[in-house]
Structure 1
Amino acid sequence: MVVADGNPIVWLSALAGDRVGLMPGSDLVRPLVTAAAAAGRKVSMLGATAEALAAASTRFAAEIPGYLPGVLIAPPMGFDPEGPAAREALAQIRDQGPGLCLIALGAPKQEKFAALGRSLAPETGFASVGAGVEFISGHQSRAPAFVRAMAMEWAWRALSAPRRLMPRYAACAAILPGEALRAWRQRR
């Protein structure tokens, strides 16, 4: 399942004549963990920091009845989502049996890891949640509701980590005009 994780996707879809609703991956974290708990499945997490993963797991245990912690893996900087360390992590996740794995690596690393996971750990559900784990753990602050309502969460996040996020958002903004033209042509 792929969701519209950002307002530019929503806007481009509307321009192409296909309206979709915004669904940030971070908004899916609690419902997915609650569903896994109800099904008696373990929840693993990969990404973020060891501290953030532990804090998120502790919070889930306190707030979600039936939560079963799985493997918590905080990969080192430069983690290759398709390399040997990724394969080792997937073996650990697979060996727990069917479950859920929240991936908090950021795009496109988390999507690459999930794609590899589909073949190496096929009984696991993978969810790319970006900063969702860090929001739950309290290691990052989510933009206030009024900022999100104005479609400015990207600016809030960029200001919170400018060295890391400004180049990423600038690269995305650079391709928007071409993508808008492509969406408009698709409509016709």
Structure 2
Amino acid sequence: MRINILGVGFDNVTMDEALARGEELLCSEGAHYVVTPNPEIVETCRADAAANAAVNGADLVLPDGIGIVYGAKILHQPLRGRVPGIEFGTGMIERCARLGKSVYLLGAKPGVAEQAAENLKNRFPGLVIAGTHDGYFKEDAPIAAEIKASGADMALVCLGAPKQELFMAKYGEATGCHLLMGLGGSMDIFAGVAQRAPEFYCKHNLEWFYRLIKNPSRIGRMMKLPLFLVHVSGEKRK
């Protein structure tokens, strides 16, 4: 049963449970995809019916942001905790290396996915990278065909929301992958182009604040968090 927060249903799972489910999907027939919404993405879904359908159509909807956890508490439907997309993605890549499954990396600026591939192969011996492509393309269908031709079992789709969710919902089957994951800016972190917040910020659920300090231009995006909480409070009053 999913926890409904402003029209987006979140799976109420721990990280271990999410990874176990991810591995099950990876080893199953057909195409499956995972999304990791934060408050900003929920706000996008409120305004965009296609994005809402793509997010809710995922096989796993994981609560990436601490704002989602707070929102669930306000609505008296507590989630068991955050499941950060970068950590879930890392765990699934480790499983691919262990199981002999291949991975395709899609997204970020030219050259970033290639660097991420090198870093991940060094980090996880035996990992097979089926292919890479940057996120700067105009037509989706040829990219899906390229992923299928690579024979990848799993794809990291790091195109930003809602583009990545819409891509996975429409072209998941066409890629031939058993599992696709929408992981936003994770490619930059895997490549070393960007750094995740230090442990102190992660431990205290302040990653959003660290990102704002490092990149003040994000203030416009960060304003979605208080807007999200206003909407959650309004939903509670209903």
TM-score by length of 1: 0.84
| 3-state SS, counterpart of residue 49 of structure 1 | coil
- Name stretches of at least 5 consecutive residues in structure 1 with no aligned partner: none
Q: Does the Cα contact within 8 Å between 1:10 and 1:22 map onto a contact in 2?
A: yes
In the alignment, structure 1 residue 126 sits paired with structure 2 residue 186: no
Q: Show the counterpart of 1:47.
A: 107
Q: Show the counterpart of 1:144.
A: 198
Amino acid at match of 2:224: A
Aligned residues: 178
Q: Does the Cα contact within 8 Å between 1:102 and 1:126 map onto a contact in 2?
A: yes
Cα distance in 2 for partners of 1:39, 1:62 equals 17
Displacement after TM superposition at 1:75 (Å) = 2.3
Q: Show the counterpart of 2:76.
A: 17
1:37-186 residue pairs with structure 2 within 5 A?
A: 37-76=97-136, 85-163=139-217, 165-182=218-235, 184-185=236-237
Displacement after TM superposition at 1:172 (Å) = 4.0
Percent identity between matched residues is 25
Amino acid at match of 1:136: F
TM-score by length of 2: 0.68
- Name stretches of at least 5 consecutive residues in structure 2 with no aligned partner: 1-59
Q: Does the Cα contact within 8 Å between 2:102 and 2:129 map onto a contact in 1?
A: yes
- Taking a change above 3 Å as real, the CA distance of residues 159 and 132 of structure 1, as seen in their structure-2 partners, is same
Displacement after TM superposition at 1:101 (Å) = 0.7
Amino acid at match of 1:176: L
Displacement after TM superposition at 1:106 (Å) = 2.0
Amino acid at match of 1:26: I
Displacement after TM superposition at 1:170 (Å) = 1.6
Q: Deviations over 1:70-103 (max 9, x none)?
A: 2211122xx5xxxx62211111112223511111
Cα distance in 1 for partners of 2:129, 2:116 equals 10
Name the Cα RMSD after superposition.
2.0
Deviates more, 1:92-101 or 1:116-125: 116-125
Amino acid at match of 1:33: I
Displacement after TM superposition at 1:59 (Å) = 1.2
- Taking a change above 3 Å as real, the CA distance of residues 98 and 55 of structure 1, as seen in their structure-2 partners, is closer
| 3-state SS, counterpart of residue 129 of structure 2 | strand
Q: Does the Cα contact within 8 Å between 1:117 and 1:126 map onto a contact in 2?
A: no
